[in-house]
A = this chain, B = another copy of it.
Amino acid sequence: MNLAKLTLMTPGPVEVHPRVLKAQAAPVASHRSESFRELYREVTEMLKQVYIGRGLVALVSGSGTTAVDSMVWSLIEPGEEVLAVSNGVFGDRLASSARRRGAKVHVLRKPEGQPIDAGEVAEVLDELKPSAVLAVHNETSTGYAARNLRQIAARAREAGALVLVDSVSGLGGEPLEADSWMLDAVASASHKCIAAPPGVSFVYLGERALEKLQRRESTTPPSLDLKLSAEYSRRRETPFTPPVTLLYALREALKMLLEDGLEARWRAHLEKAKEVYEAAARAEASPIPPPEYRSATVAAIHLKAPRAKEVIEEVRKAGYLIAPGMGELREQAVRVGLMGATTMPQVRELAHHLEKAIKLHCSR
């Protein structure tokens, strides 16, 4: 069995449209050429439409983790007090990156997938007065969408903190408006809702983030330095060799996204999520987060019995690859990625097999 031919419905990487895959096969342009500068312009302008922001988009060569690290290491100084809010693995990783940076990290930690209340965040902010708040827009490990991120960001702003957001699995699939929500930096990547291959990621930088980059005194690894990226962006270049063919693919994927329309994409993800959540409910399995926080891009289903492996194997026989839970939920949950170039008929078929598999393996 050729495993590469399984339809990817994992939380990333995702199915990529043939139009996007083929775009990679164009000859490599020099990153110091006019044609590259046009590519840079197109990609970053389209990304600004997806971020809904007028700031600067820095392209990062690497995974979503590279983008998150570059955001944290470029915008936080060692010794700074920061607040990380977390209810899952990626919130913890955000905190870990800041801790490794040498920041004094306070964590407001909720159980896996349980809501982080904006009022509670405000209380901690009043007490701590941190220089930055780190939050996850869409927690990939538990399928939690921080639908109150706007409120959390507003409170952080009032308290004088920068708002740094990991939206790796959210951007393009869950509503997010960088400027009107007052998010200062938002890290994301190519291989989730944008539906391009993995390997290129990006950080949105608002005005206050750009100012902080200017003031920063401590050093970062050159390859993660967004201050350098911001300087090079004036001439539409990256400081170091970028993944040119992946940028061709990203350009094509962004064109397809904007052809559909950003709001239509948000709706399409919601509709896909509905199919999966309803199928799970018919099998008497529940998403991990409460209803109003259930992600439209990653469905994480809590199983009544620790049979994630069996459920995944059953679904795999039907041609779909889904993922287990993360951390303590590894055996007790399955995660279905609703991102990428899968169609509604595919999602319906997957939902059907998922329901059957849960009934088969997890009935009391």
A residues contacting B by CB (< 8 A) are 2-6, 8, 10, 12-16, 18, 21-22, 24-35, 61-66, 68-69, 72-73, 93, 96-97, 99-101, 189, 191, 197-200, 219-224, 239-246, 249, 321, 323
Contacts and interface: CB of A to CB of B under 8 A. Distances in A.
Contacts of A5: 27
Copy total for this chain: 2
Contacts of A198: 28, 31, 61, 241-245
B27 A4 contact: yes
Given A15-B27, A220-B100, A66 B73 contact: no
Nearest to A245: B197
Contacts of A245: 21, 24, 197-199, 246, 249
B241 A243 contact: no
A93 to B, nearest CB: 7
Given A64-B240, A198-B244, A28 B10 contact: no
A193 to B, nearest CB: 14
Contact of A21 (B26, B30, B323): B26
Q: Which 7 A-B pairs have the closest CB atoms?
A: A199-B243, A100-B219, A3-B35, A69-B221, A24-B24, A65-B240, A197-B245
Contacts of A220: 100
A14 B245 CA distance: 12
A200 B199 contact: yes
A72 B323 CA distance: 34
Given A198-B241, A198-B243, A8 B25 contact: no
Given A2-B35, A62-B62, 6 more contacts: A21-B27, A21-B245, A65-B222, A189-B241, A199-B242, A243-B243
A101 B223 CA distance: 12
A65 B100 CA distance: 21
A191 B61 CA distance: 13
A69 B64 CA distance: 18
B27 A3 contact: no
Nearest to A200: B199
Given A4-B26, A14-B28, A63 B221 contact: no
